[in-house]
Structure formats: structure tokens, C-alpha cells
A and B are shown apart, each in its own frame.
Chain A
Amino acid sequence: MNILVCIKQVPDMESRFKVNGTGDWYDEGDLAYRINEYDEYAIEQAVQLKEQLGNQPEITVLSIGADRVADALKKALAMGADKAVHIQDPDSCKKDPWQIADIIVSFARDKNFDIIFTGMQSQDRGSAQVGVMVGELLDLNCATTLVGFEYQDGAVTAKRELEGGVKSVVKLPLPAVVTCQLGLNVPRYPTLPNIMKAKKKELLGIPASTLLKEQPAATTEKLYPPVKSGGGIVLEGDLGEMADRLLGILKEKTTVMK
């Protein structure tokens, strides 16, 4: 079996974001990066499938982006992927989901992947389109927002999370694309021997320009923070003082004391 996992490196969501100079994305300076949370579930599920099948399958992990993306790929290798493909593109944030899907498809088309795992969406752009477009372009079966995964006899039984807590169960024969949601699994903590082994695994670099053929389908016009609608106040300090200040605020600014 041949498995592909598509992952994205995203900024730590705890960071302070600033809009960049051109006003169409966030400023990438001074940010710490990590693997997109949903893509970690994808890696974990791929590794679990490999283990289920007696470590026979080969897992390729793919990521598009600047040099820093290599860190994310190394972590995926340490978690259990066999080889990594870094599609080099310092400007990946300028590409829309259609182009990202096109790059992945150009790479994957002649590789005969039996199953492609990816996150249901990225934590930064959140379009949730790349996985399904890859499925469509490669003519693969596709199920999204997986919270349960079972594989048997060439078919995946997937539990999907729908709106309002409703779940559905679908069965899809391979080859297929699945996108992973929170709750599917607990991504493993890479062990030290595996971190060391990962350093020796293959990490192939391919320039994005050699794979990209499509023009953007949608361009980002503007990125801006939501308009502030009255901030909260956090009182700190001595309990008694805080109570007095709260009382003062309630008296002055509200009608509850009247």
C-alpha cells in the first residue's frame, strides 16, 4: 500500500498576528510555526494504518512552503512517515486552494497512492478545500471531517462529524482521500530513537514552479482583524480592591445598581 499525507505548517495560533504590508495576509515575521493541528491527526492515522498492516505500507509526507517547512516534515518522519517531499515555495501563502491542490495533484498523479490523508482544513486560512479538490482532480473517493477510521479488505469505514453533533458513517473503497477532524485520534509524541532515525530518512526537495500549472481561481483582496466591539476588563489584584472596583463599575457604567 502506498500512503500520502499532505500537511501544512501554520503559525502557532497563540501568536499575536499583524496584517502584512500589502494588506492581504498576516505578517510572517516573529512567528513560531508548527504542524497544522488537523494534519497531525492525518499523520497519526496514516501511521496507525501502517502499523495495522504490519508496517507494509510506505508513507510519503508532503508539504508546500518555505525552508522552515522542513521542521514540520521532520516531525512527521519522527512520528512514523517513511519519506518526505518538500515542495519549495517561499510564497505559498499567495496561492489559493485551487493552486495548492493543483501542485499536490501534479506530484501525486503518477505515484498510485492508495489513500491520501490530510487535515479537514488549515488553522490559518481555513478554506477546507484542498483535500476535496485533490480527490476530485485525481478522481478518488472522498470523505471529510473524519472522527473515526477503520480499514478492512480494501475499504475504509469512516465516521464523519456533521453539523450539530450529528455523525454519519460512510464506507468507501480505496483509492480514496480522507480529511481528518479533531477527535479522530491522539497524535503520538515522537520518541527519541525515532527523532534520531528521522534525521536519516529521505527528504526530497522539488521547486513548486515545476509542478504548478493553474492560475488562481480566487485571489485574496483584503485581510483585516474584526472591528473591536467594546473590550472586556480584567480586574487583577487584591480580592477586596477588585470587589470595590467592580462595584464602582457596576454603579457608574450600568443600571443594575439603580
Chain B
Amino acid sequence: MLPDHHYFLPLFLLSVLTFCYSCYQRLQLVAVGASEERCDRPGERLAGVISYAFGQKRVLSRPFGLNHFVLFWAFLLLLLANVDFLLQGLVPGFGLEALPAAVVKPLDFLFDAVSLLALVCVAVALVRRVLFAPSYLGNDYTKACSGEALLILGLIATLMVAFFLMNAARIALTGGGGFQPVSAAISRLLAGSRPTALATLFQAAWWVHAVVLLLFMNLLPRSKHMHILTAIPNCFFRSLDRPSVEPREVFERGRRFGVSAVEQFSWKDLFDSFSCTECGRCQDLCPAHNTGKPLNPRRIIHDIKVNLLQNGPALKQGGEGDLPLIGAQGEGTCSEEALWSCTTCGACLAVCPVLIEHLPKIVKMRRHLVQEKGRFPEELLNLFENMEQRSNPWGIAPSERGKWASLLGERSFKPGETEYLFFVGCAGSFDSRAKQITVALASILDAAGVSWGILGKDEICCGDSVRRLGNEYVFDKMARGNVQLFQEKGVKRIVTQCPHCFSTLKNDYRQYGLELEVLHHSELIAQLVSQGKLTVPKHAVMGKLLFHDSCYLGRHNDTFAAPRAVVEAATGQAPGDFERSRENAFCCGAGGGRMWLEELTGSRINHERVDEALKQKPDTICVSCPYCMTMLEDGLKDRGAEQVRVKDIAEVMAEALKR
């Protein structure tokens, strides 16, 4: 009854050949990228594959992800059914049939049931795309109901329907089907048909299934469904360290600095571009995209792919592509304004189901603009000069750095004596509002009897802003200066009051061989509370309090509980959350060096965040970062809501400790 394999064999071979050729072409393009180590610690990588790929951990973090989860597993199981199908087509009688009935029957049931589930999922996906499409599925280069999306859904549905018809016709002809409830139900509808008609139906369904299967396979490497092939390896090759920590650069003559052409990206960066599923979740969360800036993290990945495909033929010959990577040439190029719009909040990194690393690519392109072209928003000229000349973004004389401590007496860090280096940071040292946080933290540390000291005028900026802005050369000098200073002073433990200092010292400085205990003040205060070293005589009265997650404390360092614990200890109540909080928190707008840039396009990010808070009518917004403090205070002023106080967690705790 099986179709003539003399026809099928050449079709199959041709399809496999074209499929392999397409994959080879794509992988050849990936190989154009620079080398990067992504195979170390294989055990850890495999564990990630199990949870992110097979467990669909991130996919399931949103309700509709369940639909994908079912489809994903249906595909995996049906892979076996399809291998069986192809084998039977090639060598009649050779397939799962040959196995004992005790194995075949459960498999028959499984394939039948799973195919129905897959068909339901396709229908649900179609209804969602057509009737209830969330806005983030579409954007300026694609839409929720794109031809590609509908074609793929149509092909999957066709495969399932053909599978059922094929089985139903066979059951109607030869009986059986006891373990194929769906197919058997359809076969009952066919009862009474002439055997020749049933045989024709079987032949037709078989060929439709075969052709669509081979077509689908060939479409994969040429569409966004390439992710079916690349997503699992992409989870394996993921960054095991914090992906927000950009790789170091080597400063030697004749080298390139940053990325100005697609082939300067690493092979993993290019592999990322073939792994994007176009799910749009990064676009949905991006604070720049949400406030009308030209940046869309998904678009950046898309543009890299388009650029690579277009310049590919020339690059494979060892030449240069015609389409520039950075510029205003539309699809396939990233606009400079888009690159400067990023707040490096990391929402895209944290949400991507296939672990694409958007942020480092943006920083790599910024590096090119800053270091090779000297081209950046004019405000940064001042910032860079202030950083290089005076080691702080405001350009205040370095001798003023330790002045806030003058009322506390001698507080320098003494090697061998002092336990904690209090790395105050630029905001805490120079910004008049943030200095109040510094003083509050000092009073808390004193109240708990912690031994702490500062570096005073010897402290220099951690370099967070310059690194995120792509000025790696200046960052490198600052990092080396600080690391050397910490080593000379024999520093073992550091506490910071700024998540940017915290993350830079803790994560970025590892690249410089510095592995110390670095604590954000929220962590240290929470520790002191739990150790009973801080007792609150009365609770601080803050009214209705909302806690705003700082990106660099929360998302970039997974510290969500400590600041909340501090607030709870100080006020006696767990703080309220913003609508978007923790991993989904919305940036204040100041990260990635945006603190020092004008925000001229679209609406203001801090306004969006403040409006989100004001819906809940809070009395106090509690922060854990001096940048968030500035942005939210400014936003509240602009919205005429100055009655809402912005307090750092240290201020709330210091208030509670007052007798």
C-alpha cells in the first residue's frame, strides 16, 4: 500500500541535499565571526540546555509560553514519528512497525494524541495572531500576521491533518487503530467509502505529508524558524558569566576597537542573530522602545542577521560587505541614535527565551563609534574629559571627594585594621542628594559597630558609565587604577551604596583579577539585621511605600530580596511593588551612561516610571541607587507630585534607627 519509493527516494535525497547546503551556507556565515570561547564548563552548559531548552524555563515565564512548550515537545516526539515515516518511505517495511507490539502500541497512541495537541496549539496560535495579537509581535519590519508566520502555522497544521488522514484511511482499509483514538474517529467518518477511494486518499495524504515535511525542513534555515535548529545550541553556548559584562579589549597598534562591520562580531554574536524567534518579548520590555526611541533590541539582532546575509557572499571570499553595519541605511544597519538610546537595563537579556545577548553587541558598536570615530552625542565630550581629568562624571575637584565625611572625623581605610572599604562612589561623594544616603549608610554602619573606612581623595570612579558608553580605553585605565589601589591597601571586603559601583567592582573587575567580597549596602544591612546587630527601636513611618528595583542591583545581580528585607525591617511592613517589578522592572532611564545624556526623542523614561508609581498613590518611593534617586525625584517634580518622597533604603533604615 505504501507509495512507490522509487519516486520518493530522489525527492528525499534532493531535499536533504538542499537542506544541508542551506545550513552549511548559514554556518559558513557564522564562521566569519571572530573567535570566542563558548565550550568551557560543558557540564554547566548542558544543565542550562536542559532547563532553558528542554525545560523551556524562560518561554514558560509568560502564560502564552505554555502553547510553545506543548508545540516544542510535540515536535520532539513527532520527530521520532517522522523519522519512522521517512524510513518507511525509503525502505518499505523498515520502521517502528518492526518493533514488538508492546512498544509500537504506546507509541501509536502517543503520536496520535500529540498530533492532536499540536493541531490545537497551532489553532490557538493562529487565533492569537489574528484576533488577539499583542502589540510586541509586530514592529517596523514585521507584523503579527506576517506571511511567514501564517505559512509556518499552515504547514504545521497541514502536516498534522495529513498525518491523521493517512492513518484514518489505513485504519478504514485494514482495520486496527485501537491505539489511535483520533485517527480511528476520523476513519469511522470514512466508513463505507470504496477501498480504491480510501487507497487514493491514503496515497494523497502520504504524499502531502511527505512533501510538506521536506518543504518545512528546507524552509527552516531560510526563515526565523532557523531557531528550531539553533535555539538549543544557543542555550549551550550561552554566556556563563554575567552577559552584561562586556569582554575586555586589547589596546595594541593595528587592532580594531569595537565593531564597525558584521564580521568583527564574535561567531556567537552571529549565531545569536540566527537564533532569534521574533517573539518580541525584548521589544515589549525595552524602556527605550517603550518611550519612542529608535532602539528596538529585536531590531538590532534582526539587522545583524540581514547585514550578514547581504554581505555574506563578499565576506566568505574574504572581502568587505557593501552594506554598513552602523548607519542610516535602514534594514540591515543599526542607526547611531538607536545605539545611544540603550540604558543597558538588561531587560532584553533577562527575558530572551533563547538567551540572545543583545546588550554586549550594542556596547561593541558604541566602542567603535567612541574609540575609532570619536563620534558620540556632544554631551559626552564633557563627561569623558571629566572622567579622564578628575575621575568623576561631574568634573568636581578630586580633593573634594572625601569631604562629606569631615563631620565624622578621621575615616580613612587603614590596611590591616579596617574590615570594610566603603567605596562611596561619585554620586555618593559629590551629588548633594546622594551625600545624604552616604551619611545615612555611615550612621547605620556605626550603629551596627561595623569597622569601615574610605579612600577619600584616592578613590576614583569605578568607570561604569564610560564602559557602558563604549569608552573601553578610559574604563581600562580606571579599572586598573582601582584594582591596583585595592591590592596595595589589602582590601578584602567592599561595601558600596551604588549598584553601578557594586556591579562593576564585583563583576567587571573580575576580568582584572580582582575577586573580593563586594556587597551592595542592601545586602550588608540585611545581613546586619539578620545577625541581630541592628535593632530598630521604632519603625520608620513612610506611609504607603513602593520599592523600585534598580537594574544593576536586581536584574544584573539577582538581588531582589535584600533591599526589600531592609525596608521591611525598618518599617515593619513589606514594601509594595510596582506593576513591573523584579526581573520585569522598568529602568529609571539613567543606566548605560544615559545619566549624562539629554533625552530628546520620544517621552521620558523616568516619566513613564513615575506615572506607573503614581497610579498606586504612594507616599514614598524607595530606591537603592543614586541614579534612580535623581531620575525619580526629577520625574516626580515634572509631574507635580513632589509630595511623594523618594528615599534610599539606607535613609529609611537610618530613620528607624534614630532614637
Contacts and interface: CB of A to CB of B under 8 A. Distances in A.
Given A16-B397, A30-B399, A190 B374 contact: yes
A70 B396 CA distance: 25
B257 A12 contact: no
B251 interface: yes
Nearest to A193: B372
Given A32-B398, A192-B473, A236 B372 contact: no
Interface in B203-233: none
Contacts, number: 46
Interface residues of B, number: 24
A16 B401 CA distance: 13
A32 B390 contact: yes
B378 A186 contact: yes
A232 B106 CA distance: 88
Given A30-B399, A186-B381, A189-B384, A12 B390 contact: yes
Contacts of A196: 251-253
Nearest to A12: B389
Nearest to B432: A236
A14 interface: yes
B491 to A, nearest CB: 24
B389 A34 contact: yes
Contacts of A197: 253
B39 to A, nearest CB: 31
A220 interface: no
A189 B376 CA distance: 9
A68 interface: no
A191 interface: yes
DSSP class of A's interface residues: helix, strand, loop or mixed? Answer: loop
Contacts of B374: 188-191
A254 B397 CA distance: 34
A195 B251 CA distance: 10
A152 interface: no
A189 B398 CA distance: 22
A192 B384 CA distance: 14
Interface in A175-199: 186, 188-193, 195-197
Nearest to B372: A191
B264 interface: no
A209 interface: no
A255 interface: no
A16 B399 contact: yes
A192 B399 contact: no
Interface string B233-263: 0000000000000000001110001000000
29 contacts: A12-B389, A12-B390, A12-B397, A14-B390, A14-B395, A16-B397, A30-B399, A32-B389, A32-B390, A32-B398, A34-B389, A186-B378, A186-B381, A189-B370, A189-B374, A189-B376, A189-B381, A190-B374, A191-B371, A191-B373, A191-B374, A192-B371, A192-B372, A193-B253, A195-B473, A196-B253, A236-B432, A236-B436, A237-B436
Interface of A: 12, 14-16, 30, 32, 34, 186, 188-193, 195-197, 236-237
Interface of B: 251-253, 257, 370-374, 376, 378, 381, 384, 389-390, 395-399, 432, 435-436, 473
